[in-house]
Amino acid sequence: MVKEPTVKINKICPTCFAETGYSIVLEENDRGILVCPKNPQHKFKPNKEGFLEKTEAW
Ligand SMILES: [Zn+2]
């Protein structure tokens, strides 16, 4: 049985992708927040469904 791929694979910064078309892989910090290495103000938190929500938290 083949397992469905999960969203746990590399997460791309949706803001950078929307603005520039570049796929910037987000880096997870020690608080579980995904931070964009190009623009540190791009911060996301994965919600229960696995979607990225913009967050202001560090
Ligand atoms: Zn970004």
Which tens digits make up the pLDDT trace of 18-53? 999 999 999 999 988 999 999 999 999 988 887 888
What is the SS3 assignment for 17?
helix
Residue 25 is predicted with a pLDDT of 94
pLDDT(8) > 60: no
Among residues 20, 24, 3, 29, the alpha carbon closest in space to that of 12 is found at 24
* Cα separations in angstroms, 54 against 25, 33, 42: 15, 10, 8
pLDDT(58) > 70: no
- CA–centroid distance, 1 to ligand 1, in Å, is 36
- CA–centroid distance, 15 to ligand 1, in Å, is 5
* Cα separations in angstroms, 31 against 12, 46, 53: 18, 12, 15
